[in-house]
Structure formats: structure tokens, C-alpha cells
Structure 1
Amino acid sequence: METNRSSDFFVRFWGVRGSIATPGKETVEYGGNTSCVEVRVGGKLLIFDGGTGLRVLGKTLLPKMPIEAHLFFSHSHWDHIQGFPFFVPAFIPGNRFHIYGAIAPNGATIKQRLSDQMLHPNFPIPLRGMRSEMTFHDLRPGDRIKIDDILIETAHLNHPSEAIGYRVTWQGRTAVYCTDTEHYADRLDENVLFLARDADVFIYDATYTDEEYYHPQFSKVGWGHSTWQEAVKICKAAGVKKLVIFHHDPAHGDDFLADVEAQVSAAYPDACLAREGTKLVL
């Protein structure tokens, strides 16, 4: 069993893909599960998003029960919540989960949205079938959360139906989870810059390349995602130490992503693409 000392601060990736899970021989190196990131900090377990990677994380937690964890959702598009009904620890009494998410533009809470995807005819077991202890927390962008001496700051992200980004700071070290956000044509996003400032690790949605985003026939403008080129601009402006490109497009196989990674690394020396299973120690 892996120990989790109170002095540890690390990030581990369980799902790095956007839109839809992409199993198969072309996604072996980088991974095909949708968004889920584990952060261990100050003896606490924080989980960011509940895509299909959450199911895999859940399997690894079973030998470590009872579990207490804080689960933060960026938003409730399916690729960020579709693993939640398959998160086995949530069905087991004795485990405790604190669940956070922003109130949707239509007023729906994160509890309502997680519950809705588990209602018939979408799923056979309703949310109340999960026998763990769950506490739900409604957020608004700009809220600050304290978990002991861990500070979590939030900011609004530019995404259809809205999303929220998270900045985790503990003992002078910072990791940022900033996915599902689209950059602006005329300026750097001040909310993203706020989250990214002097971050040790900056996880950023770069679903597209500039060539794809600005393609004259198949433009991705308005789709709610960004590019690795924009990520580099943000990191240079904000003083980010390590950039991690995240939320890979389902059409991008390992060869394509390896080429992107080479370009990103050339443009920003301490940069990489997120891979399932990768652990980054701060």
C-alpha cells in the first residue's frame, strides 16, 4: 500500500482525454480515459473531475478504505461526470466524500446534476444507492475553500454552460487544474492568469492546435477549448514552472500527441503532455 505522508504534495493523472473515452491501440501511450486528476496534499485526498478515469482511481482506493476525499467538479459535461456512477468507493458505507461544484446557469446544483445522470432510463441505480456519506457544497466562481491549511481558489472559465478552475496551494507550493476553457482572441484571460500565477504545476486544456482552432473550413472557435500555443503564452506571462497539456482531443492518437509534445517542449522547456498514470511531485 502506498503511504501518504502529511509532507507529500503530488498530482497523478487517471484520465486525460476530453469529450469521449478512446480505448484502443492508438491511445496506449497517453491514455483514453476522460478527465480525472488525483491530488494528494497535506495528508488529504483531492480529486478533480469524475470522468471515466475516476472508475480506475476507485479500484486503487478499495484496499485503503475507509476513505475520506474531496471531489471537485469543473462542470457537468458528460466527459467530466460519466465515471461517477462507476466509482465503487462511493457505494460502500464508511467512506466519506465532500463534493464541490459550481451552480449551473439554470440554477441546478452539482448534486442535482449528478443525480440526474443516474436516473432511469439513463442508469439503473440512483444516487441514493450510493451508501457512502456524501456532503455537497455549492460554489460560485471566486469562492475560496480552506481544508485545514490547504487553500483552494476558484475562477470562472470560458466554456459553454460555464466551468470553474481550481488553484490548490499548500506550504508555498501550488498546483492548478484549469480545463475546459477557451482563450480570447484579443487578450489573455485574466481569470486563467489569476489561477496560473507563479504555479508549480499548471494543468491546462489544450484540446486543439492553433491550426485546428483557426482552420478556415473546420474552425473550433466557440467550442470551448484552447490550444497549446495559448498555454505557452499564459505560462510565460504568469511565471508558471511546469506546464501540463491536458484534455486531449479524441481524434488525436499517440503519434499526433507525441508530435505536439515535442513542439510544446521546444516552446516551453518545462512542459509535457498529461499521460494516464503519470505522477508529478511538487
Structure 2
Amino acid sequence: MKVRFWGVRGSIASPGPHTVRYGGNTTCIEIRTDNNELIILDAGTGIFPLSQTLLAKMPITANVLITHSHWDHIQGLPFFIPNFIPGNTLRLHGGFDPVSGKGIEQVMSVQLQYSYFPVREEEMKGRIEYVTLSPGEPVQVGSATVTPCLLNHPVVDFGYRIDCNGKSVFFTGDHEPPYNIYDPQDEGYTAYQSLVDEKNRAIVEAIRGVDVLIADTSYTAEEYPAKKGWGHGTFATSIELAQQAGVQVLFCTHHEPTRSDDALESAFAKALSQHGAPQHGLDIRLAREGDTYEF
């Protein structure tokens, strides 16, 4: 399998001289199976440059897995160039939204409202298909098996495990480790803690033994208390998750948009020194726009 990063910033695109090394586009990751089948994880602004590379070999079928519907993970979809060219297929996968009562099709329909975008879905020449997923129920995407896992974010959020020919990758999307909402002295603390522990164990088992984990590491441990409940992880929590699940390689992504490349490298180095990950045989890397990893 091959992984290529097209967008690694979180929350909002942040181009400029201080983010040029790691890139300013929001989340988009290209996965290629050994059979060269195309799977795209999220459709942030990084999907636009990705789509430009696909024009040389058309027609294409792009299987896009949407973790959740926040703007930084979907806003590139209307600019996915193959949508405008006959013969191409965009197959959009994602969760059911209990608030709106709609499936993954609403990700396109909301963005393509006439007030916000000049081209209606009916005017696009490519074929667009929708596959609404359920947590824990695997689907086949070509030669790959994709299993959605419900993670913790302020909206329905799927992590995705992709297994193919004995190789595996897991992407968390945005994820904050579940925590107890009660204080220890509260009556409901013990019962709720058992639910938290059960959920965390289930997440570890969903990731267990993957070759590559791509995880949300938006914050440092020092920053996290002020951001608690926002739905994002830290370097420390993602390193711990990777160690518990027996992962081989961890890519840290969803970089805080206000953090310069220099500050990002400094925060990363501090996290490694504090948590001693290399002692556990875990290869930890910062996701960088344009980088590829083949295994």
C-alpha cells in the first residue's frame, strides 16, 4: 500500500511562509492499494491538488471516505476536478447524521446550494454515488476492506481501518480520547468511567496491529486543558494509543493552524523526549504535505 499526504493542517487552511515546509492545506490523504485502487481519506482543501494529478489517467473511480462533516474535512469536494468530466466516478462514503436525519449525501448537497457554489450537482458531468456507512460494519472497496469505527468528536466521526493483502492503515480523523464528564465525587462518576474505559478499549482493538496509524495530534499536553471538549487529541494521547494498539508507524497530523513549522517541530521534539516512544519500537513521524510512505 502507498500513503500520500495532500493536506495535514487542522481546522482552517493556513498557507504562508511559516507553514511552507509541512503545508497549509486541510486534511486529505491518498491511499493506493497494491492493485492501484484509489481511496481518499477526507476531502479538505488538499483534495484539489490531488485531483489535478488524476487528470493524466482517466477515467478514474475515486472512493472518498469522509470522517465527519466539519468544513475542514469536506470543503475541497466541490473542487474535485474529475467531477466535471464525463466518465469519472466519485463514490462518497460516510456516516448518517442523526441531527439532520440524512446520509452522507448531505455533504455535497449543502455545499452545492446555489448561494454558496455556482455549479449544481446535476450539472456535474461525472457520476457521484453515495454510500452511508454504519460503525463496525466493514465494506469492500476493490481489494480493500474498510471498517468504520465511531470515535469521539462533537459530531458523528468515523475512524477508518483499511486492510488489504495483509497490510493495514488506520486514520482517526478528528479524535479526542473519551473522558469522564463527572468529577470523582459525583454520584455518576464510577458508572460513567466504566463506559469510558469500555469505549477506549474498543478503539484500541479497532486499531490493534495496524502497520500505519495516522492520528489527530492537534495539541500539546500543556495546551489541552484549555481545549478540552473540542474533539482533538494531543501528541501524548496519540503516542499512547499507538503503543497500546501495537502499531508500527504513527503519523501525527491535523497540525494546529496557528503553529508555524518551527513551532510544530519544537512541539514534536518535546513530545518525543517526554514519552520515550522509540524505546517501544514505535516509529513516529510528523505528517508533511507531499510526503509518501509505501509498505
* TM-score, normalising length: structure 1: 0.92
Residue 262 of structure 1: SS of its match in structure 2?
helix
Matched, 1:150 2:144: yes
Mapping for residues 212-251 of structure 1, pairs under 5 Å: 212-214=223-225, 219-251=226-258
Matches within 5 A, 1:1-20: 9-20=1-12
Deviations along 1:194-224, whole A, 9 cap, x unmatched? 332111110001111110002xxxx101001
Show the counterpart of 1:135.
Answer: 129
Q: How does 1:72-87 map to 2 (within 5 A)?
A: 72-87=65-80
One of 68, 72, 85 as aligned partner of 1:92: 85
Q: Secondary structure at the match of 1:189?
A: helix
- Of residues 105, 117, 121 in structure 2, which corresponds to 1:111? 105
User: The residue matched to 1:59 in structure 2 has which SS?
Assistant: helix
Moved more, 187-196 or 116-125: 187-196
**1:243-279 CA distances to partner (integer Å, 9 max, x unpaired)?**
0001111111101111123234443231011100010
| Contact 1:154-1:195 within 8 A present in 2 as well | no
Match of residue 23, structure 1, among 2, 15, 25: 15
Relative to structure 2, which stretch is displaced further, 188-197 or 58-67?
Answer: 188-197
Which residue of the partner structure matches residue 162 of structure 1? 156
- The SS at the match of 1:134 is strand
Deviation at 1:144, TM superposition (A): 0.4
What is residue 286 of structure 2 aligned with on the other side?
273
Q: State the identity %.
A: 42
Q: Which amino acid aligns with 2:9?
A: R
Distance, in Å, in 2 between the alignment partners of 1:26 and 1:154 is: 35
25, 29, 37: which one aligns with 2:29:
37
Report the TM-score, using the length of structure 2 for normalisation.
Answer: 0.88
Separation of aligned partners in 2, 1:139 and 1:157: 14
- Say which SS state the counterpart of residue 116 (structure 2) adopts: coil
Conservation of the 8 A alpha-carbon contact between 2:139 and 2:145: yes
Residue in structure 1 matched with residue 43 of structure 2 by the alignment: 50
- Structure 1: unaligned runs, 5 residues or longer: 1-8
Runs of 4+ in 1 over 6 A off after TM superposition: none
Residue of structure 2 in register with 1:6 after alignment = none
Structure 2, unmatched stretches of 5+, are 181-196
| Equivalent-residue separation in structure 2 for 1:57 and 1:191 (angstroms) | 33
Give the aligned length. 270
SS at match of 2:21: coil
What SS does the corresponding residue of 1:259 show, helix, strand or coil?
helix
Distance 2:142 2:82 in 1: 23
Asked if the contact 1:156/1:191 (under 8 Å) is kept, the reply is no
AA partner of residue 274 (structure 1): A
